[in-house]
């Protein structure tokens, strides 16, 4: 099986690529290797992937329509996992155009590539951010998500709508995955675990938003990848019980599904910080700050549908996951 992973130099893309290569798939990794965060970290991930002869890297921006279409025509992918996106909630307040280019224009080009080359299954990254002002916990894919509070979240909701349209019009099987706060080795430097670890080791204060009154459904990368692989192998089919009189947002009369993919065990931010302190053997100096625009106070994934359909069961405790990240961080940065 030949799989295209967009965003292959990214955190989740790197780990997914590694897993697919281990099981013998051919993997083409696409990434524009932009400078949203440390390019050397992205290059280091790619170097590890490129050691496998079944991996080929293509440096390309998804917004390049001609380049994307040429790649799809040449490669004849069996399945596609779209992880490429402009990430970050707070950054979307500063640079909205980047989200339009990557998350809307780029995703349109992926959909067109899949449509015209008969890709058998498109799996794409959505986000827990789509729940926005929804406070009904745990978040369910069967709930309405029409009130996003950041452009990043709005772009991810748009991706879900765009994919559904292609599933309906062109019978393109599409599965959207709403990721919940993924963490682990090789993680993004703009995420809390990386920022906290770096600051504590350097003796600098950590910035704790909403005065620490946050809940996050932190999900370890290995559990995420296991879920993505299981979903990739299960092509969605139409829901015969779907009714336009009582429309279910999580399924469709088209070959389309949306799933939450999270740990299903939200953790208090202050407990998360305490676990980092314990693993580092150091106490953090904390700068308590108000809630940031675009952030939500809590995330909590209902993963019942994913359990039912692919037997998804996260297995990594927060203490174990943080320990593995810190071990990687100390080794990689010599800290």
Known catalytic residues are 152
CA distance 325 to 7: 21
Residue 55: beta bridge partners?
A: 27
Residue 180 DSSP class = -
- CA–CA dist 257, 31 (Å, integer): 26
Q: How far is CA 47 from CA 83, 177, 180, in A?
A: 19, 27, 27
Q: How many CB atoms lie within 10 A of CB 232?
A: 23
CA-to-CA separations, 245 to 60, 128, 140, 183, 335, in angstroms, rounded? 43, 26, 20, 40, 58
Q: How far apart are CA 102 and CA 121, in angstroms?
A: 21
- Token digits for 250? 């999580």
For residue 284, give the DSSP letter. Answer: P
Strand residue runs (E) in the chain = 2-6, 26-31, 55-59, 79-82, 121-127, 174-179, 182-183, 206-208, 215-216, 219-220, 256-261, 267-268, 286-288
């Amino acid at each position: 099986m030949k799989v295209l992973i967009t965003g292959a130099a990214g955190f989740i893309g790197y780990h997914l690529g590694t897993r697919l290569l281990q099981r013998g798939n051919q993997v083409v990794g696409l990434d524009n290797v932009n400078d949203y965060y440390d390019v050397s970290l992205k290059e280091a991930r790619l170097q590890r992937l490129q050691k496998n002869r079944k991996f080929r890297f293509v440096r390309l921006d998804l917004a390049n329509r001609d380049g994307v279409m040429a790649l799809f025509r040449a490669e004849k992918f069996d399945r596609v996992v779209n992880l490429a996106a402009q990430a970050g909630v707070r950054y979307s307040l500063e640079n909205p155009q980047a989200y339009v280019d990557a998350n809307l224009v780029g995703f349109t080009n992926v959909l067109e590539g899949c449509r015209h080359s008969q890709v058998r299954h498109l799996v794409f990254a959505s986000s827990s951010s789509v729940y926005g002002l929804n406070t009904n916990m745990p978040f369910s894919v069967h709930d309405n998500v029409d009130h996003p509070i950041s452009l990043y979240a709005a772009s991810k909701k748009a991706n879900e709508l765009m994919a559904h349209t292609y599933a309906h019009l062109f019978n393109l099987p599409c599965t959207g995955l709403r990721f919940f706060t993924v963490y682990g080795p090789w993680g993004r430097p703009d995420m809390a675990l990386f920022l906290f670890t770096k600051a504590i080791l350097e003796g600098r204060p950590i910035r704790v938003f909403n005065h620490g009154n946050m809940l996050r459904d932190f999900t370890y990368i290995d559990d995420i990848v296991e879920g993505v692989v299981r979903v990739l192998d299960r092509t969605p089919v139409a829901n015969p019980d779907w009714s336009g009189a009582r429309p279910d947002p999580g399924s469709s009369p088209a070959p389309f599904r949306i799933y939450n993919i999270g740990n299903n065990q939200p953790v208090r931010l202050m407990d998360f910080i305490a676990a980092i302190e314990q693993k580092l053997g150091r106490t953090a100096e904390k700068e308590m700050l108000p809630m940031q625009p675009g952030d939500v106070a809590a995330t909590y994934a209902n993963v019942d549908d994913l359990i039912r359909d692919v037997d998804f069961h996260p297995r990594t405790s927060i203490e174990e996951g943080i320990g593995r990240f810190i071990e990687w961080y100390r080794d990689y940065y010599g800290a």
